[in-house]
């Protein structure tokens, strides 16, 4: 590293994580390999990955959906004239092997062999998903896609897969400019979770002994989110699933997940003892729709 980076620094950046030692060892070993060695680059990497993985705690995609949640979130795959969600509910492997297989998708992931949907489900700090991505990552480190899938389940693999994504998208260059907005757009295509990412970065750079001025956020910059491709409802999402959620929240049900819906969802999550991130994943949907 080009500066002093300690376990205490990392602990302050991912405060809810109880296994800081393992993550610190993985970071100091892997980050230099990808040129993530300056205060800004490390602060951006840890803050972005911290947001994506809830302080490095959520390392595997949660597909434990009820039938009602499947109909709400994966409306492209379940419902009238499609498959019966009751036959897939509470079976993550079966769900993955349906919604993530290329034959059922508009956007392909390279999942063409039986079991690929589950084998290459989202894992790691950046939720690497799909045979194509695992193949690309594996090739960069001398592994097959199948070997890479096992490696990503370890702390070092979780870090290195995120570094591969980081390097592939040339995010060090953006980190050097301190542009959290552009960084976020490059990572997820919009401003999803930008407020939390900005707060995390401001904290991280402060912990490392620096300062940063964050720009105002323009909510209109959010791109629409294809709910059926992502598996959660969040700002930018549209469709029947959003209407179902809005009705359960007791707000206007127009099917468009905007700032007002996000605020209502955060308030509901806080009241119900859930992480108030404004994103409706399996846990939130289970309580809200169940």
Tell me: the pLDDT tens digits for 23-70? 999 999 999 999 999 999 999 999 999 999 999 999 999 899 999 999
* Of the candidate ranges 142-151, 169-178, 183-192, the one whose mean pLDDT is the lowest: 183-192
Query: Per residue in 112-122, is it b (16+ CB within 10 Å) or e — as a string?
Result: eeeebbbbbbb
How far apart CA 211 and CA 213 sit, in angstroms, is 7
Tell me how far CA of residue 110 lies from CA of 78, 100, 113, 238, in angstroms: 22, 9, 9, 26
Nearest to 262 by CA among 287, 229, 232: 232
Residue 273 buriedness (CB in 10 A; 0-12 / 13-18 / 19+):
exposed
| Predicted confidence band of residue 98 (pLDDT cuts 50, 70, 90) | very high
The residues facing 83 across adjacent strands are: 78
* Domain map (residue ranges) of the chain: 7-59+149-219, 232-289
CATH of 232-289, one of 1.10.101.10, 3.10.129.10, 3.30.365.10, 3.40.50.10470: 1.10.101.10
Tell me how far CA of residue 45 lies from CA of 131, 171, 208, in angstroms: 24, 9, 13
The whole-model pTM stands at 0.80
Tell me: the pLDDT tens digits for 263-289? 999 999 999 888 788 888 888 888 888
Q: 3-state class of 280 per DSSP?
A: strand
Let me know if the fold of 7-59+149-219 is the same as that of 232-289.
Answer: no
Architecture of domain 7-59+149-219: Orthogonal Bundle (1.10)
């Amino acid at each position: 590293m080009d500066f002093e980076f300690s376990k205490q620094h990392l602990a302050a950046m991912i405060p809810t994580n109880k296994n800081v030692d393992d993550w610190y060892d993985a970071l100091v070993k892997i980050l230099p390999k990808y040129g993530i060695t300056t205060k800004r680059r490390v602060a951006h990497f840890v803050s972005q990955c911290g947001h994506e993985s809830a302080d490095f705690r959520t390392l595997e995609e949660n597909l434990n959906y009820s039938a009602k949640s499947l109909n709400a979130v994966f409306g492209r795959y379940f419902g009238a004239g499609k498959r019966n969600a009751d036959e897939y509910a509470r079976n993550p492997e079966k769900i993955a092997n349906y919604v993530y297989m290329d034959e059922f998708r508009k956007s392909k992931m390279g999942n063409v062999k039986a079991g690929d949907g589950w084998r290459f489900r989202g894992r790691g700090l950046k939720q690497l998903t799909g045979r194509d991505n695992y193949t690309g990552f594996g090739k960069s480190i001398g592994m097959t896609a199948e070997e890479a899938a096992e490696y990503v389940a370890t702390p070092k693999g979780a870090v290195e897969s995120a570094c591969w994504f980081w390097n592939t998208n040339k995010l060090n260059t953006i980190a050097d400019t301190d542009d959290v907005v552009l960084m976020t757009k490059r990572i997820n295509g919009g401003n999803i979770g930008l407020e939390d990412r900005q707060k995390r970065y401001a904290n991280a750079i402060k912990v490392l002994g620096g300062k940063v001025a964050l720009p105002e956020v323009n909510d209109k910059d959010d791109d629409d989110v294809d709910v059926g491709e992502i598996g959660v409802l969040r700002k930018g999402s549209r469709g029947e699933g959003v209407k179902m959620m809005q009705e359960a929240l007791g707000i206007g049900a127009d099917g468009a997940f905007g700032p007002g819906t996000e605020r209502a969802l955060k308030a509901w999550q806080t009241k119900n003892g859930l992480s108030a991130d404004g994103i409706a994943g399996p846990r939130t949907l289970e309580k809200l729709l169940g």
